[in-house]
Amino acid sequence: MNPPGILLDTGPLVALLSADDAAHARAQHLFSECVPPFRCCEAVVAESCFLMRKVHGAGPAEVLALARKGVYEISLSLDEHWATIEALLRKYADQPISVADACLIRAAEIYQEPRILTFDDDFNVYRWARTTKFQML
């Protein structure tokens, strides 16, 4: 069982909530092996709400309900990290990095947390604290 504090990306969150998602069973299994709360950012929540709206009308509310239930928490606010997030976006401009990805890299630095629940292979390329690799679950 993985202890609390794992970083949470958009893909697994959407897959968990969408029974039709090809990675739904994988997401269920991964979430069951982790103790909440996960750590994420507003950008992950916004991306998840946008994608879940395409699944069904109540999808965005389901994303927020998981936070209310304590599954994840917002542990990084962009407002406090503009310059660092901008620098990460520039550093990885040759990768398909999103604001959510950059925020998760920054959260890893702040919380010294290498574990991330993601389906995004770019986290094999990204480094936090300049040289530290992510441990993808």
2: in domain: no
Whether pTM > 0.85 for this model: the answer is yes
Range of the domain at 109: 7-132
CA dist list (Å): 68 to 61, 72, 76, 83, 130: 10, 8, 17, 30, 34
63: in domain: yes
Burial class of residue 24 in the structure, from the number of CB atoms within 10 Å of its CB (0-12 exposed, 13-18 middle, 19+ buried)? middle
**CATH at 27:** 3.40.50.1010
86: in domain: yes
Count of domains in the chain?
1
47: in domain: yes
pLDDT at 20: 95
pLDDT at 62: 98
| Nearest in space to 89 (alpha carbons), one of 78, 101, 74, 81 | 101
The per-residue pLDDT for range 65-122, each reduced to its tens digit, is: 999 999 999 999 999 999 999 999 999 999 999 999 999 999 999 999 999 999 999 9
137: in domain: no
1: in domain: no
Is the model's pLDDT at 1 over the cut of 90? no
The per-residue pLDDT for range 127-136, each reduced to its tens digit, is: 999 999 999 9
